[in-house]
Amino acid sequence: MRPPKVAEALLGRFLPLHERDEILGDMAERYARTAAREGRLRARLWYWRQGLAIPLHMLRRRSLPIEFQDLRFALRTLRRSPGFTAVAILTLALGIGANTAIFSIVNGVMLRPLPYPEPERLVRVWEHNDSFGRLQAAWPNFVDWRAQNESFEVITAYSGWTDTVLGGAEPLRAGISPVSAGFFRVLRTEPTVGRSFSDAEHAEGADPVVLVSHSFWQDQLGGTAEIGDAELFVAGFPVTVVGVLPAGFDFPAGTDVWYPAELQKQGDSRTAHNWRIVGRLAEGVLPEQAQEDLSLITARFEADGEAIEYLAQRAQVIPLREAISGPVQGPLMLLLGASFMVILVGCTNLASTLLARGSARSGELAVLRALGAQKSRIVRRLFTESLLLATFGATAGLLLAAALIRALPALLPSDIPRMAEIGLHAPVAIAVVVVSVGAALLFGLLPAWRIASGDLGAPLRDGGRTVSVVGNRGPWRLLVIAEVALALILLTGAGLLMRSLFRAANVDPGFSADGVVAMSVALPAHEYGEVHQRVAYYDELLQNVRRIPGVARAGLTLRPPLRGWPTNGRISIDGGPEPHVSAAYQVADPDYFETLGIPLVRGRFLDSSDTADSAHVVVINEALADLAWPGEDPIGKRLTGGGMDSYWEDPDAWAIVVGVAGDIRQRDLTTETYPAMYFSYRQRADRASSAWVVVRGERIEAVDLIPQMRAAIRDLDSDVPVQFLTMEEAVSSSLGDRRFLAEVLGSFAAMGLLLAALGIYGVVAYTVSLRTREMGIRMALGSAPAHVLRMVLRESMVTVVIGLLLGLAGAAVASRLLSSLLYEISPYDPVALAATALTLLTVAAVASFIPARRAATIDPLITMRAD
Amino acid sequence: MGDSIGEFEKLLLLAVLRLGEEAYGAAIIDELAERTGREVSAGAVYVSLRRLQDKGMLRSHAGEPTPTRGGRAKRYYEVRRDGIVALKAARDAWDAMLDGLETELQLNT
């Protein structure tokens, strides 16, 4: 029976090397005996208790600056002032907890090396051109790079999307990724079960094979080692599973099935930017050198008769780690900065509290010195106290951090990369703890030193009441100013983000999401390869869904709003001029618009007269109407959409505009409406191998109809995977990142505010207590209590206002960094600034008022009598 | 002047003597606990064992690693001559102080 691992490791760490084996061995032996006699739980408890007691004994023996007696004394002192102790520990715990959690995220997402061998040699490669910036690569370009480069050990292309996979435990939509030859050599990853792809399998016409993720293997294939027989239908094609990748392997993120990209014939367009490129640099080659190398090759690319503006001009090579974390770097750095400010406020707070305490105890310490205590002894005693506080604070902080980190997957937006690698790692925890505990000790020791070396007579002569060792109030005011300024910066940032979230949440999306459920259906290609089969399926499905009691309306679309960029491409209009307009390509049915409450602006929606045999028609949105036919009536005009579907392979296949629909937000709530065209699925089901049915209920929430809808799908064809989404969810997840940032920054700001309030209260209360006698005299000489109250308040508020002004200046600088995250709010938004300043002012006023009132109620007789 | 030893150190030396060949940490702790009927702090035992070695009253050597102990070696202790001397001296001092108090302490000698 092995002793608890953590306790043993901890104990081992504290024991001197020459005694470690002996003691750990003895402990193991006794643990086994205790466990046999009293059960495992008691034995564990025993081990922890004993294990921690041994190093304590050892410490006592050596002359560390802690003595047992001091420790007991410190404990007693802290217990005597529970308010102070709680505030100090809480301050440290919040600071350490929040910082460790945020820094752990930064560490996991941005800093830790990728979980592949020699990760520093991994890079992402993009095409780059002046008009469009960074672009994915076209296949022939990739092929040239691969053939001609001198910088890479291996360079490969991959892609990824979601598609239907049948043949597992249930039909489902899974992440599919085609990868070119050498992909797993780039990442140096081998299947744990089965084998990887052979070179012969990376070829057109080879037997189709796939590798699957560990979780897919477990959940869908039963996790057996006999994978040779597993047959799947991926996107409608029968494939054989040849191997299982290691647990935790997740590249590209979210992939469950990998297959050789070369199975399919790749196009020869040099401007079809469809492939992502990842490579392993040759030994000793830097990313910049590889970029130079690939750019030279890129310069030789020629596009025959293709849109030259889409052609790459050079290559961009970026370390894979940066490429993965790139999109979240800004927000993460923001959070890191904010959490750092919280800990700054916390430390300032701790400093002022410890200093105040130190001063207040000058009398007690002077007595100790007068009785012959050595200076070093007094310092040591105070040091022990700070150390104890710091230890408690750090422990609580780490526990908080651990809890936060465990809760992170639920808290973080789901698209944070490398989420699985976020954890409480020792270096992070140690760094944060060292900084905060260091600060606590420093601030604890500073007053100790000053007091211990101060004039020991003075406090005694003055009755130990009126003396501050830190004679003037300058340092206190500085600390309060710093706290207020930092808190204001935090509050302003949070205020701006919240206002911006509020703005975004109140954007009119152009449709009504309330009570609408969207259900995605994906038709397996082997059963629905023909367009007429799809049309028939959708016809019947819509009919069946509309027949469900409680369904008011049901419509069809390629992709519901707020689910990312819709498919789009360049369009041409009849009679020119070339409008240089890109438009989103949508397929819908007549009821789609009314189900979502999209208004009709002109003409008509699609209707049942639009059939496969009638003239092809299109409904466009207002944005497209304004761009393509500014100032004209678009009804009756004609357009075509290049290569967006097969109907347009005939360049004269015009579609006639029959209606204009209202604009809606497509990608997300805060992205402007994109020009869009809606075709009828009966006329153009070419791209509709999967689609969404949107449903609105009548006198019943559509959500409650999900079981019936599921049944309708199953009854029609049980091989069609289905997934549900309420449009309200779509709206709220479209705000997810914004909400997350606003919430986290908001809670940091709340912490900052709370800490600042405590700090102000502490300092004012302390200064008031120092001046009790002065107040008493003032009142004895006729000062009204109200006057004393005003005086104390005024002094404290002057300090607060100075802090506010400084904070406003700081906020102006800090908020500029926020501007890219703000939506329709200026970083200098007067409402946000005024509101935060006012909040802080109010809180500061309350925090000063309480001790000020105490000053005003001083009984002059009592104060005087004390002398 | 020979080093004087504390109460706990005396008990430790006696335990080591009693255990003979089998005097190693865990056994010493058990022996102490069993004979005195009190719980013994392991930390105190190790600290005192070391101090007694520093005073030259104990010597020790490492044994073979054993699997029941997670593959860690025992350290065996042995009382040196100085230890015996100190124990005797302590006993003498004790006896001298007791002398004549037998009735008062109700000791049946």
User: Per the CB < 8 Å rule, is B26 touching A29?
Assistant: yes
- Asked if residue A397 lies in contact with residue A104, where contact means CB atoms within 8 angstroms, the answer is no
Of B47, B72, B75, the CB nearest to A28: B72
Structure tokens belonging to residue A101: 């959690």
DSSP string, A373-388: --HHHHHHHHHHHHHH
Structure tokens belonging to residue A689: 């191998």
Are residues A377 and A489 located together in one domain of the fold?
no
CB pairs under 8 A between A and B: 74
Instruction: Kindly report the nearest CA distance between residue A320 and chain B, in angstroms.
Output: 43
* Chain A residues closer than 8 Å to B26 by CB: 25-27, 29-30
Residue position matching structure tokens 């420790």:
A71
Of B24, B41, B66, the CB nearest to A57: B41
Cβ neighbours around B71 below 10 Å, total? 12
Of B25, B30, B51, the CB nearest to A22: B25
User: Per the CB < 8 Å rule, is B72 touching A24?
Assistant: yes
User: Per the CB < 8 Å rule, is B42 touching A54?
Assistant: yes
Of A2, A3, A57, the CB nearest to B47: A57
DSSP structural state of residue B38: S
User: Per the CB < 8 Å rule, is A28 touching B46?
Assistant: no
Question: Which region among A160-174, A520-534, A761-775 has the lowest average model confidence (pLDDT)?
Answer: A761-775
Is the N-terminal amide bond of A860 cis, ω within 30° of 0?
Answer: no
Q: Closest chain B residue to A11 measured between Cα atoms?
A: B43
The whole-number pLDDT of residue A203 equals 83
Bridge partner residues of A174 (DSSP): A163
Enclosing H/E stretch for A436: helix A426-453
Bridge partner residues of A157 (DSSP): A277
Residue position matching structure tokens 């503006």:
A309
Are residues A248 and A140 located together in one domain of the fold?
yes
Are residues A274 and A136 located together in one domain of the fold?
yes
Cβ neighbours around A216 below 10 Å, total? 25
- SS3 assignment, position A276: strand
Instruction: Kindly report the nearest CA distance between residue A28 and chain B, in angstroms.
Output: 5
Q: Kindly state whether residue A694 falls inside one of the protein's structural domains.
A: yes
The whole-number pLDDT of residue A462 equals 52
Are residues A707 and A633 located together in one domain of the fold?
yes
* Chain B residues closer than 8 Å to A2 by CB: 70
Q: Assess whether pLDDT exceeds 80 at residue A188.
A: yes
Are residues A840 and A758 located together in one domain of the fold?
yes
ipTM of the complex: 0.85
The whole-number pLDDT of residue A642 equals 61
End-to-end alpha-carbon separation of chain B, Å? 31
The whole-number pLDDT of residue A464 equals 44
- Asked if residue A692 lies in contact with residue A560, where contact means CB atoms within 8 angstroms, the answer is yes
How far, in Å, CA of A455 to CA of A461, rounded? 11
User: Per the CB < 8 Å rule, is A61 touching B29?
Assistant: no
Of B29, B42, B72, the CB nearest to A21: B72
Are residues A145 and A284 located together in one domain of the fold?
yes
Q: Closest chain A residue to B66 measured between Cα atoms?
A: A25
Bridge partner residues of A572 (DSSP): A640
Q: Among B15, B32, B13, B28, which Cα is nearest to B85's?
A: B13
* Chain B residues closer than 8 Å to A27 by CB: 26, 42
CA-to-CA separations, A427 to A58, A100, A655, in angstroms, rounded: 26, 10, 63
The pLDDT confidence band at residue A471, using thresholds 50, 70 and 90, is very low
- SS3 assignment, position A507: coil
User: Per the CB < 8 Å rule, is A23 touching B46?
Assistant: yes
Q: Name A406's Cβ contacts closer than 8 Å, sequence gap at least 6.
A: none
Structure tokens belonging to residue A715: 């009854």
Choose, out of A22, A24, A45, A68, the residue to mutate when testing the contact with B (most B CBs < 10 Å).
Answer: A22
* Chain B residues closer than 8 Å to A32 by CB: 68
CA-to-CA separations, A831 to A165, A492, A500, A613, A814, in angstroms, rounded: 52, 10, 12, 59, 17
Are residues A577 and A689 located together in one domain of the fold?
yes
Cβ neighbours around A131 below 10 Å, total? 8
CA-to-CA separations, A589 to A542, A611, A706, in angstroms, rounded: 10, 11, 21
* Chain A residues closer than 8 Å to B74 by CB: 22, 25-26
What's the count of helices (H) and strands (E) in chain B, helices before strands?
Answer: 4, 2
Mean residue pLDDT of chain B comes to 85
Which region holds residue A118: left if phi is over 0, alpha if psi is between -120 and 50, else beta?
A: left
Are residues A556 and A632 located together in one domain of the fold?
yes
Q: Kindly state whether residue A811 falls inside one of the protein's structural domains.
A: yes
Classify domain B7-98 by CATH number. Answer: 1.10.10.10
Instruction: Kindly report the nearest CA distance between residue B82 and chain A, in angstroms.
Output: 22
How many percent of chain A have pLDDT more than 90? 3
The whole-number pLDDT of residue A63 equals 46
Which residue ranges in chain B fall short of pLDDT 70?
Answer: 1-3, 108-109
User: Per the CB < 8 Å rule, is B70 touching A24?
Assistant: yes
Are residues A140 and A224 located together in one domain of the fold?
yes
The whole-number pLDDT of residue A309 equals 65
* Chain A residues closer than 8 Å to B68 by CB: 28-29, 32
The whole-number pLDDT of residue A3 equals 82
Domain end point (choices A49, A64, A79)? A64
* Chain A residues closer than 8 Å to B73 by CB: 21-22, 25
User: Per the CB < 8 Å rule, is A21 touching B62?
Assistant: yes
How far, in Å, CA of B43 to CA of B62, rounded? 19
**Residues A703-747: pLDDT tens digits?**
788 888 888 888 888 878 788 888 888 888 777 778 878 888 888
How far, in Å, CA of A168 to CA of A766, rounded? 70
DSSP string, A589-619: -TTHHHHHTPPEEEE----TT--TTSPPEEE
The pLDDT confidence band at residue A60, using thresholds 50, 70 and 90, is low
User: Per the CB < 8 Å rule, is B68 touching A60?
Assistant: no
The whole-number pLDDT of residue A415 equals 65
Are residues A633 and A744 located together in one domain of the fold?
no
The pLDDT confidence band at residue A865, using thresholds 50, 70 and 90, is low
- Asked if residue A483 lies in contact with residue A751, where contact means CB atoms within 8 angstroms, the answer is no
How far, in Å, CA of A163 to CA of A207, rounded? 20
How far, in Å, CA of A118 to CA of A110, rounded? 16
CA angle A358, A375, A350 (to 5 degrees): 25
User: Per the CB < 8 Å rule, is A57 touching B74?
Assistant: no
Mean residue pLDDT of chain A comes to 80
Of A26, A55, A58, the CB nearest to B25: A26
Q: Kindly state whether residue A125 falls inside one of the protein's structural domains.
A: no
Which domain covers residue A845, as residue numbers?
472-506+736-865
Is the N-terminal amide bond of A566 cis, ω within 30° of 0?
Answer: no
Of B30, B43, B68, the CB nearest to A53: B43
Q: What are the backbone angles phi and psi of residue A373, rounded to the nearest 5°?
A: -70, 140
Interface of A with B (CB under 8 A): 2-3, 19, 21-30, 32, 50, 53-58, 60-61
* Chain A residues closer than 8 Å to B30 by CB: 30
Q: Closest chain B residue to A54 measured between Cα atoms?
A: B43
* Chain B residues closer than 8 Å to A57 by CB: 41, 43-44, 46-47
Q: Kindly state whether residue A51 falls inside one of the protein's structural domains.
A: yes
CA dihedral A528, A533, A535, A539 (to 10 degrees): -110
**Residues A629-657: pLDDT tens digits?**
888 888 888 888 766 676 666 666 788 89
User: Per the CB < 8 Å rule, is B66 touching A25?
Assistant: yes
Distance of CA A286 to the CA centre of its chain: 30
Of B62, B68, B72, the CB nearest to A32: B68
The pLDDT confidence band at residue A468, using thresholds 50, 70 and 90, is very low
Q: Kindly state whether residue A317 falls inside one of the protein's structural domains.
A: no
Are residues A682 and A550 located together in one domain of the fold?
yes
- Asked if residue A550 lies in contact with residue A698, where contact means CB atoms within 8 angstroms, the answer is yes
Instruction: Kindly report the nearest CA distance between residue B80 and chain A, in angstroms.
Output: 20
Q: Among A755, A747, A843, A749, which Cα is nearest to A90's?
A: A755
Q: Assess whether pLDDT exceeds 50 at residue A382.
A: yes
Structure tokens belonging to residue A196: 């990887």
Instruction: Kindly report the nearest CA distance between residue A59 and chain B, in angstroms.
Output: 10
SS3 breakdown of chain B: % helix, strand, coil, rounded to 5? 55, 15, 25
Q: Closest chain A residue to B26 measured between Cα atoms?
A: A26
The pLDDT confidence band at residue A447, using thresholds 50, 70 and 90, is low
The whole-number pLDDT of residue A450 equals 63
Of B25, B44, B62, the CB nearest to A23: B25
DSSP string, A651-695: TT--EEEEEEEPP---S-TTSPPPPEEEEETTT--TTTTEEEEEE
User: Per the CB < 8 Å rule, is B26 touching A26?
Assistant: yes
- Asked if residue A177 lies in contact with residue A258, where contact means CB atoms within 8 angstroms, the answer is yes
- SS3 assignment, position A187: helix
State the average pLDDT over residues A543-558: 89
Q: Could you state, in order of their start, the residue ranges of all structural domains in chain B?
A: 7-98
End-to-end alpha-carbon separation of chain A, Å? 69
Write out the E strands in A461-606: 516-522, 551-557, 568-573, 581-588, 600-603
Q: Pick the residue with more confidence: A156 or A402? A: A156
Are residues A381 and A417 located together in one domain of the fold?
yes
How far, in Å, CA of A137 to CA of A334, rounded? 32
* Chain B residues closer than 8 Å to A22 by CB: 24-25, 62, 72-75
* Chain A residues closer than 8 Å to B69 by CB: 25-26, 28-29
Of A21, A58, A61, the CB nearest to B73: A21
Angle of the A375-411 helix axis to the A362-370 helix axis, nearest 10: 140
Write out the E strands in A245-363: 257-260, 276-281, 314-319
The pLDDT confidence band at residue A465, using thresholds 50, 70 and 90, is very low
How many structural domains compose chain A?
A: 5
